[in-house]
Structure 1
């Protein structure tokens, strides 16, 4: 994004332009889609603005070149993905490149560039808008706002196919995505962060982007009163937390939520994040500074980023016990997320939440050196449930048994046992962070607001990974039922559109729309009762002892 001194009048005839404040924003049109990329929505969080709340962008003026994506926010890449030699090249081809040949003939790739997220820069708070080319400022189209990712950038997620499909369905929508601060740049925790009221900055960035949408989306042809927020994984967790903040008051920023592989998770307060804060302080040479937070704002970008790279990543040994998740900060989150759900501090909007059958297989590749039941128990006690009683710990061991036929990838028998404890880890972690929080959220809210849930069991044939985390995105960014359900929901707050195929999730009928491992088959209905006792106990223990 850049400003220049060219006259706005020189572009008066441009059809792929919109007016924002006193500026003409120039995008690019391809076929039926016009894209406006890399528009700054907040002031650069650099220098003294690092580790501070986002500030609204100044009014736009001049001519804005919105033809290329803005830089990615700084990434957390301490090392490579833990690939065992037993995982063959074909598996990697699907997992890393998501090649269309594994899906159905003619399906387009859903991600533009994995794992390359493009140029990185601390000045990264930009937003992208993709619209039907025929949209005008009077179109008032529903809007889908994408909330993000654990790592990566908006350039990796091309919303064009979704907008194209919405046009084909006669339900055109506008697709909006934003970059926001990640890892320690956006989710540093600790006493110093809480005292300064600058926790959960990545979520504040997203909220600022929501406000930008309210202010400007009508200029692109969108209806600010018809906004649905959507996310996958960390993005879905973000969506759920936007439903919990501010006492559940949305301030009119959105009217519906769609979550894929993410719900309010059992994370603790800022004291749990103190270790990560201290590591960044040490890594940047700020130890001993009178005010370590001020010191962190003054160190170079390179020094700060290097310190982040030396902290554990999601594919490190501790896996899903992350150093930079959202934390209770007293501002955005006034209590543990699941406690807020329990208290009813939830936005009263329709929502969809679902995911994949084998959510944690990829996250369990980093624990293959844990090979015995004794070692598994010690891992769980040390990292997950340090305060659990011996009774409860032993019960968890029984409910997640040392039996590869009961582990994840589920329903694959004795296959896929990369190590004696791999499938057990995948089952435990998948329920702890994905299935358990999803079910708890639904159980607390079903019957109080309109809710739907799904699970995909496709790709079971994929060795070791099965229906892995992220795989459901293939069916939202590519043509298929899940993409259509998403578009219907954005338009009408009901994923069914005009034909009822997906009944709501209710207390008496916890329906799961289930995508079986057959691309040609229609989804079926099952009940959300699998591993009932195991998930119930694990959810309760983590509710009492968040990580």
Structure 2
């Protein structure tokens, strides 16, 4: 593969026309800063009222009006996470902030494409806060605007009951940002009619939920979608999730008639002390992630497999994809027997039947021949989890998007970092984020992704396709650039399922999906509704 080339800027402006560092968004005036690399940023913009007091566990409300100029040069604190220290000073319950990064040369009339990115964290934490999109913007030829956000997670964003708390407030926080972009992004040089919604892991699951929100009602919030390692988990109804509310209220000492008022009067430290996972109904151990969107028959109308099966989603071009070893971060490394592996999978999907588990064991032979030994079934459990939760759902959604007349592109990230390979992780969940944002802009990237190392070109390759998609809704550009040194990314087709595979060293190639993976994914899509996925 030849050296990467920068994409040609699609807008050029004089500095005299540039957006001012001080921007009035109606309810507040924010002063950001211009960086030496030609990128300006406004950090810690409040997009909703602080979710405190009576607004704890409530839908997001409009941000308050403020007097004077608000400093927008520091990130806002990110949201309290399940299982995290009650005294973590980087987090706060007052966390509903977003960041905007844009070319310094942009004007309010630039109408630049917008990339609205939702971070992951299993709906239990904000796992990638303080996104730095400077490298992506520079490599776009200073031709895009990027928005990133915090949203409530754990019980603060996803606890509900049958009466007092509206479900899925964490998703409603995200919806608030989608609405904010439509109202205000033009003042930062962005085009509200050209928005690509993206996310990773739970952020990619969020993208999928927004595609299907309110039975696929298209509010014009976004016009293309990117989902990196989208997660399909067990989805409970509001009634089924009541036990989480009851257990949490009991742990924090709020029983009796006024239990919600009691919880709203507790300090965040008191709540955090009791903020940990418990088993799902029918499971023996807590799942990797417990606080998840629930089936409320309003925002989340149906199980994801069924809502897409029915065609009840926003029809836009999509990119979906996953990492080669997306389960290794999650399955217990000490898994030593087939029974332990089955129990782990059952704890994540308690509706699995004994017959289904038997079929799973037939489809997923143990790749480790060192048994009996501690950890010899780690990869067995990992392989089942990765395909059930991430890889197969993404391929299924892509097939349905194609069926309903939109182009879909599917990728596989197989860029091997020597340290991760030596540790046994392989190519783990969401490792491509370091390539998306660039190793110089991402906290603690794999060493091989840094400049001058073996996988440095992987970032150039990924950014090439992602920027084309953000600009043109086509990862190959518009029209397809026949002079490009990059592999042409063929759109997904059910009769010829092929994925763009990112390989070690930044190489790319189209590789057909093998028959074994097709068969396993057919099992998950066939049984997905029964498993409440």
If the TM-score is normalised by the length of the shorter chain, which range does it land in?
0.7 to 0.9
SS of the residue 2:305 aligns to: helix
**Which whole-Å CA distance do the structure 1 matches of 2:244 and 2:27 have between them?**
43
Structure 2 portions without partners, runs of 5+: 1-17, 439-458, 483-487
Structure 1 unpaired stretches of 5+:
1-12, 80-115, 406-413
TM-score, normalised via structure 2 length: 0.83
1:302 pairs with 2:269: yes
Aligned with 2:211: secondary structure?
Answer: helix
CA distance in 1, matches of 2:177, 2:293: 18
Q: 1:148: Cα distance to partner? A: 1.9
For 1:540 and 1:140, the matched residues in 2 are separated by 43
Alignment of 1:315-464 (within 5 A): 318=285, 320-364=287-331, 366=332, 368=334, 370-381=335-346, 383-388=348-353, 390-404=354-368, 419-448=375-404, 449-459=406-416, 461=418, 462-463=421-422, 464=424
Residues 59 and 166 in structure 2, CA contact (< 8 A), matched pair in contact too: yes
Q: Distance in 1 between matches of 2:344 and 2:27?
A: 58
Contact 1:72 1:117 in 2 (8 A): no
1:267 is paired with a residue whose SS is coil
The structure-2 alpha-carbon separation of the partners of 1:60 and 1:490, relative to structure 1 and needing over 3 Å to count, comes to: farther
Q: Deviations over 1:24-56 (max 9, x none)?
A: 421011120111000101111100000111112
Q: Distance in 2 between matches of 1:22 and 1:493?
A: 33
| Residues 1:499 and 2:459 aligned together | no
Question: 1:231 and 2:166 equivalent?
Answer: no
Alpha-carbon distance between aligned partners in 2 of 1:393 and 1:59, rounded to the nearest angstrom: 55
Match among 91, 101, 110 for residue 139 of structure 1? 110
SS in 2 for 1:37: strand
The aligned counterpart of 1:46 is 52
Shift of 1:455: 0.3
Distance 1:259 1:117, change over 3 A: farther
Question: Is this contact kept in 2: 1:396–1:538, CA < 8 A?
Answer: no
**Secondary structure in structure 2 of the residue aligned to 1:144:** strand
Q: Deviations over 1:352-396 (max 9, x none)?
A: 1111010010101x352x4222333344445534451x4332221
RMSD: 2.7
Matched, 1:533 2:519: yes
Partner of 1:28: 33
Mean CA deviation greater in 261-270 or 395-404:
261-270
Seen in structure 2, the aligned counterparts of structure 1 residues 273 and 23 have a Cα distance that, compared at 3 Å, is closer
**d(CA) in 1 for partners of 2:28 and 2:259?**
40
Alpha-carbon separation, structure 2, partners of 1:15 and 1:61: 19
> C-alpha distance in 1, partners of 2:349/2:127?
30
Structure-1-length-normalised TM-score: 0.81
User: Pick from 16, 19, 25: which aligns with 2:24?
Assistant: 19
Q: 1:349, CA displacement in angstroms?
A: 0.9
* CA distance 1:348–1:22, change in 2 (3 Å): closer
Q: Does 1:220 align with 2:220?
A: no
How far does residue 404 in structure 1 lie from its aligned partner after superposition?
1.8
- The 1-side partners of 2:144 and 2:363 are apart by 45
User: Which segment drifts farther, 396-405 or 519-528?
Assistant: 519-528
Moved over 6 A (4+): none
Alignment of 1:180-219 (within 5 A): 180-189=151-160, 192=161, 194-196=162-164, 198-219=166-187
Q: Aligned partners of 2:212 and 2:151: how far apart in 1?
A: 19
- Does the residue aligned with 2:275 lie in a helix, a strand or coil? helix
- Which of the residues 188, 205, 215 maps onto 1:247? 215
Query: Is residue 72–residue 118 contact of structure 1 (8 Å, CA) maintained in 2?
Result: no
2:519 is paired with a residue whose SS is: helix
Distance across 1 between alignment mates of 2:187 and 2:393: 38
Shift of the alpha carbon at 1:543? 2.1
Residues 483, 317 of structure 1: CA spacing in aligned structure 2 closer, same or farther, 3 A cutoff?
A: farther
Which residue of the partner structure matches residue 5 of structure 1? none
